[in-house]
Amino acid sequence: MVKAIVYHSNTGHTLAYAKILGTNLKLPYYSIKEAESLLKKDDEIIYLSWICAGRITKLKKVEQKYHVKYIGAVGAYPKTEKYLEELKLGNQINKPFFYLRGGIDYSKLNGVKKRVVKIVGKTVPKEDKELSALFKNGGNFVKEENLEELIEFIKSEKKK
Ligand SMILES: Cc1cc2nc3c(=O)[nH]c(=O)nc-3n(C[C@H](O)[C@H](O)[C@H](O)COP(=O)(O)O)c2cc1C
């Protein structure tokens, strides 16, 4: 049985998803640090984390300690089948995996990360107005409905 949601968030989008998911599934949500004292090795968890340069941050570290049953990855790009496949391949994922769109909050990014995001933003084609605006001004795409697929999947597995 899943004991908790463990999350890793840099600027708050992943934390926001962890809160909504926790409320929906009636599960506690812990940062990796909090989980250290509240969970035991091999406890079943849902892991939510932000994507940095294609990597689901701290995934391998968390998988060494807990039994990660489901993964939710939070990134800035729009959700497409192609992007999901890229993430699964790049992060060697062979378990239920869900992509959740987060956002960009420049006010919470430190100098280096802010510069990296600005550089990546320059590679976005101008025709892609929504993505260009996100990289230029920041923005937040966190929505409860983005979690629907993950919630339905977990609920349906529980019934089995
Ligand atoms: C240095 C850096 C690299 C990033 N690389 C990616 C990426 O490869 N793919 C993606 O979808 N989003 C990328 N993002 C966007 C973050 O994943 C996005 O802002 C996410 O919502 C952050 O979640 P958080 O607020 O919980 O930290 C990157 C952000 C930063 C700061």
pLDDT in tens, 69-93: 999 999 999 999 999 999 999 999 9
Q: Is the pTM of this model over 0.95?
A: yes
Nearest residue CA, atom 31 of ligand 1? 113
Average pLDDT of the chain, as a whole number:
97
CA distances, 105 to each of 20, 46, 66, 152 (Å) = 19, 24, 30, 29
| Tens digit of each residue's pLDDT, the chain (160 residues) | 999 999 999 999 999 999 999 999 999 999 999 999 999 999 999 999 999 999 999 999 999 999 999 999 999 999 999 999 999 999 999 999 999 999 999 999 999 999 999 999 999 999 999 999 999 999 999 999 999 999 999 999 988 7
Location of each CATH 3.40.50.360 domain in the chain? 2-102+141-159
Query: How many whole angstroms separate alpha carbon 158 and alpha carbon 82?
Result: 29
CATH number of 2-102+141-159: 3.40.50.360
Rg for the chain (alpha carbons), in Å?
16
Pocket flag, ligand 1, residue 66 (CB < 6 Å): no
With the C-alpha atoms ordered 131, 110, 68, 13, is the resulting torsion angle positive or negative? Answer: negative
Residue 75 Cα, ligand 1 centroid: separation in angstroms?
5
Pocket flag, ligand 1, residue 72 (CB < 6 Å): no
Burial of 149 (0-12, 13-18, 19+ CB in 10 A): middle
